């Protein structure tokens, strides 16, 4: 009965909002009218991995509606805009016709904002994740700036900012642009709504596609933030201690043993989440050797000097090879240790057991 009542409530809610704001329509072809313009970035240096051109849209009185997890609907009148909407089903990117707003409408009260809004929200991966902030969200700002003046923007539409995110915007000179919290306001309308398409994720899962990161993003992130690096007393031999992460994957069960072993080799361990962003930039740029389990901290490889020696550890069933992509672009000496996949009943405390003798061969 409880589940039935929940389903009945949702049905009534969806019908109410469909009456209030109208049904969201899907079409294979984006609606073309006086309200929407879609421009191409005609720059050979800023293009996708396959050399195709990026698109940026401007919609007068456009809407965004998001469930804050897997779906973001960009709406022109009452039609969903294909290229710029975002939807995942069971973690995989799908056609816009699968966007939840198409079949349930926009079930949140709409908030109108005067002025120009750049939508940067993209579901759960775009909220707090360090890697996705650097390589998804900030590049969307760069794409927008290739066609429009950032100084004329009034708002960014995204989740409430973490401190490191605020610092990156300060470095870009964008700290005065106001933030519309996409968790608080799930459905907005703007006088002028702008959207850049995702810079590299077009199919499948994010983990599988991250290796398609275009080189221009890597070079732009490095050149943008290296000049702001803040020095501190740190080792040139760095072990990234991932034990601070709340996630269980890519955790080394015998982490303390590995820390002690690496310290005997002159390494010092760091929990990068405890370091301010600009100190992280310096730590990786100062390093000559970096060892650690796969995780968001390895996004900082973008800041390493040429020929820095990298040893990344991950289980063989983790598909993400983005560290290799960054290393190839930045001319780093990348090494990957892939460990055996542990049975589920042996993953308590982590899914990696690292043999220090095996590690020694890569140092």
Please tell me the distance from the alpha carbon of residue 203 to that of residue 353, in angstroms, as a whole number.
Answer: 32
pLDDT score of 200: 95
Span 210-250, pLDDT tens digits:
888 999 999 999 999 999 999 999 999 999 999 888 877 88
CATH numbers and ranges of domains, the chain = 15-221 (no CATH), 229-360 (3.40.50)
- Return the pLDDT at 108: 96
- 46-73 mean pLDDT: 96
Q: How confident is the model at residue 176 (pLDDT cuts 50, 70, 90)?
A: very high
27-55 tens-digit pLDDT: 888 877 889 999 999 999 999 999 999 99
Q: Give the model confidence (pLDDT) of 254-295 as tens digits.
A: 999 999 999 999 999 999 999 999 999 999 999 999 999 999
Distance CA(17)–CA(2), nearest Å, equals: 23
CA within 13 Å, CB half, 264? 7
Give the β-pairing of 79-80 and 71-76.
antiparallel
Find how far residue 119's CA is from the centre of its chain. 14
CB-based contacts of 31, cutoff 8 Å, min separation 6: 76, 77, 79, 81
How many CB atoms are located within 10 Å of the residue 69 CB?
12
- pLDDT at residue 341, rounded to an integer: 87
Residues 103-160: tens digit of each pLDDT: 999 999 999 999 999 999 998 888 889 999 999 999 999 999 999 999 999 999 999 9
What is the reported pLDDT for 143? 98
Length of the chain, please? 363
Please tell me the predicted confidence (pLDDT) of residue 120: 97
Q: pLDDT tens digits for 4-28?
A: 777 777 888 899 999 999 999 998 8
Share of the chain above pLDDT 90, in %: 81
């Amino acid at each position: 009965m409880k589940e039935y009542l929940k389903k009945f409530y949702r049905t009534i809610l969806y019908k109410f909002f469909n009456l209030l704001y109208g049904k969201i329509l899907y079409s294979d072809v984006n609606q073309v009218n006086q309200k929407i313009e879609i421009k191409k970035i005609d720059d050979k240096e800023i293009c996708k991995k396959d050399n195709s051109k990026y698109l940026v849209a401007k919609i007068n009185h456009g809407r965004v509606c998001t469930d804050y997890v897997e779906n973001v609907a960009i709406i022109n009148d009452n039609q969903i805009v294909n290229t710029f909407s975002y939807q995942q089903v069971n973690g995989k990117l799908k056609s816009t016709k699968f966007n939840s707003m198409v079949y349930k409408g926009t079930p949140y009260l709409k908030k109108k904002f005067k002025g120009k809004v750049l939508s940067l929200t993209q579901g759960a991966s775009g909220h707090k994740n360090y890697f996705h902030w650097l390589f998804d969200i900030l590049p969307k700002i760069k794409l927008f700036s290739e066609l429009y003046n950032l100084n004329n923007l009034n708002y960014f539409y995204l989740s409430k900012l973490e401190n490191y995110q605020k610092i990156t915007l300060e470095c870009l000179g964008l700290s005065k642009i106001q933030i519309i919290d996409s968790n608080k306001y799930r459905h907005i309308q703007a006088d002028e709504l702008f959207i850049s398409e995702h810079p590299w994720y077009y199919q499948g899962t994010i983990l599988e596609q991250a290796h398609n990161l275009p080189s221009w993003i890597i070079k732009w992130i490095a050149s943008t933030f290296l000049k702001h690096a803040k020095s501190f007393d740190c080792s040139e031999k760095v072990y990234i201690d991932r034990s601070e992460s709340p996630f269980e994957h890519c955790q080394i069960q015998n982490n303390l043993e590995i820390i002690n072993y690496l310290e005997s080799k002159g390494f010092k361990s760091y929990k990068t989440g405890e370091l301010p962003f600009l100190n992280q930039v310096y730590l990786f740029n100062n390093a000559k050797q970096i060892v650690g389990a796969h995780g968001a901290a390895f996004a900082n490889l973008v800041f390493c000097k040429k020929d820095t020696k990298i040893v990344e550890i991950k289980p063989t069933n983790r598909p993400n090879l983005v560290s290799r992509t960054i290393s190839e672009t930045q001319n780093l000496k990348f090494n990957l240790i892939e460990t055996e996949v542990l049975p589920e009943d042996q993953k308590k405390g982590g899914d990696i057991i690292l043999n220090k003798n095996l590690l020694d061969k890569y140092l």
